[in-house]
Every structure is written in structure tokens, then in C-alpha cells.
Amino acid sequence: MSSKKGIIYLLIIVLLFFLPTIIKDSYFLYMAILSGIFVILALSLNVIVGYAGQMSFCHSAFFGVGAYTSALLVMNLKFSFWLALPLAMVAALILAFIIGYPSLRLRGPYFAIVTVGCAEVVRSILYNWVDLTGGPMGLPKIPPPDPIRLGNLFTLTFNTRQSYYYLVLVFVLLTLFIIIKLMKSKAGRAFIAIREDEGFARSIGIDIKGYKILAFAISAIFAGMAGSLYAHYILFISPVSFTIAESINVILMVIIGGMGTMVGPIFGAILLTALPEVLRAVADYRMVLYGLLLMLVMIFLPGGLMAALRAVASLFSKGSGIAAKGGSIART
């Protein structure tokens, strides 16, 4: 990373930390928190879809299992949120192995169809296991995260939107940091090799199934984290929030932002979280508009918004280069 990019990213992080003090509107903070949770979801899905090249439609299942696991542990077994959150991630990981181990030997549309079925099975369990999950009535009155006491100095509580915003922001930055490190590792290079040419990757000794399962598992772990954060923020969950439509929504975030990029899913998640509010007046046509937007992006911007931004930046850099050449010629 160049020093110029590093300074820009640092300034963005500083701005994000000061955002609640600059914009104090409660509804804006609500949307910012939801955007952060969906940024984690989109970044996690990008590992398996964007980098490993496997189209998965069961992210809502990992999201839902993480949410229900965390909520039930805190409500029924009186666990601390700080213990329930990693256990929610473990639960999503276990589900990923159950789904991924037998199905990741399939390729292309066959794997995608299996994940659709798995997502629907998980939703049906959440809907019908009334004694545990509350069924269609859901789980109300989920408590917020436990306070963190720093000795006798002060106590961090998370029962306000501003405090929860900072909690989600820390987890977003942690997710981003881990995934960036992952993609620079041997595993990350293996994911990209599998995406580009599975046959070639196999010929040079890459364990195709092993790395696919690894990508699927990492994707599920962070989705479980997002589910836990979502449950303890909204304070109510039901199977309606974890349908196949939610998986499609997260896939749209990744595709529209730019698959296989680090910043693209962030843009996509923020855009598609805010878009329903912008289109509230035409809510009945939301999925039609989403479909139209996806179609336009796939036709005109197959690389997503990040490809468009890079193209614009390239034009500006070429323009400034030409202008600099022209100036030097004129001086001579």
C-alpha cells in the first residue's frame, strides 16, 4: 500500500470515529449501524463468491444461526454477550462444514442450487421449531451487549445508538483487517487461483476442496458475527429476516460493489442498505428496481462500482499526464 493510500484510509477511519459527533441525527446512526453490520456480511460473502469464485446463496442461514445462537444463549442460559458472540461464530462455522463438506465437490450452478436448498432448510427449522426459536413470532426482548467495566475508572455501555455504532465500527475494521491479511496469505492466493482456473490450480498441487471449505468456513464465521451483532442491536429477530431473499440482497451488495475487491462490497452494502429508505415511496417495486439495477451493472459495469471508479480515476490520471506533457512541451 502506498503512503498516499495509507493516509487516505487513516483519514477515513478517523472521520468514521468522529461521525456521531458531527451528525447527531438518531435515524442516521440507526442506518449507519445497519450498514456496518451488512458491510461485515458483504465482506464475508466476498471471500467465497468474489475471491474463491463459488456462488453461494446460504449466507442468510449463517447470519440467522449466528443471530439465534447468540440471542438464545444470552436469554435462556444467561451467557454474557461477549461469550455468546464467539459461540455464534462457532455455530455458523459448524453449519458451514455440514453444508460445505458434501456440497463443495459440486461446481457452478449445482453448488448454487444446493446452497439455495440449505438456506431454505435452515429457515424452515427456525420457523417450525417453535419451542426453541419462537417460530413465526420470533424472539423479542433480546438484551443489548453487557457493559465493559475498565476497573474503577469507567464503564462502557452499549444501550445507546452512539455506543453501538462504535462497537459495530470496531468489528467492521477487525473484519476488514483479517480479510486483507487473509487475501495476502498463501490461502488467499489459492482462492484466487481456484477462481481463475480450477483445473490449473489442481495441476500445481492446490487442494481444491480443502481451500473451498476454508473459504466457505471463513465466510460463515464472519456472517455469524454479523448475526450476533444484528440480534443484540435490533433486540428482536424472526425467520422473516433470514430468508433466501436476504442472501440475494447480500449477493447484490457484493456484485454491485465489485466482486473480488476489498472496497467494493463496502460500497455495495452501504448503497443497498440506504437505497430502500430512498425508495420508500415506491417500496412495492423495490425488487423490480433492484433487478433493474443489477441488470444494468452486469451489462455496463461487469466489474461493479469499483470498476467504474477505477475507470474514472484512470481517465483523470491520463488527463493530468497529458496536461503535464503539454505544459512541458510548451515550456520548451
pLDDT at res. 177: 95
Task: Return the percentage of the chain with pLDDT > 90, whole number.
Answer: 62
pLDDT at res. 281: 65
pLDDT at res. 332: 46
Residue 322: band (very low, low, confident or very high) from pLDDT cuts 50, 70, 90:
low
pLDDT tens-digit map of 116-150: 999 999 999 999 999 999 999 999 999 999 998 87
Choose the most confident range, by mean pLDDT, from 82-96, 139-153, 277-291, 298-312: 82-96
* Pairwise CA distance, residues 151 & 154, whole Å: 7
β-partners of residue 139 are: 237
Residue 204: band (very low, low, confident or very high) from pLDDT cuts 50, 70, 90:
very high
pLDDT tens-digit map of 68-116: 999 999 999 999 999 999 999 999 999 999 999 999 888 888 999 999 9
* Pairwise CA distance, residues 262 & 255, whole Å: 12
Q: For the chain, give the mean pLDDT.
A: 88
pLDDT at res. 330: 43
List own/partner pairs for 243-249 with CB under 8 A and 24 or more apart.
243/60, 243/119, 243/123, 244/57, 244/60, 244/116, 244/119, 244/120, 244/123, 245/60, 246/59, 246/60, 246/63, 247/56, 247/57, 247/58, 247/59, 247/60, 247/61, 247/119, 248/57, 249/290
pLDDT at res. 284: 72
pTM above 0.75, yes or no: yes
The stretch 25-46 carries a mean pLDDT of 94
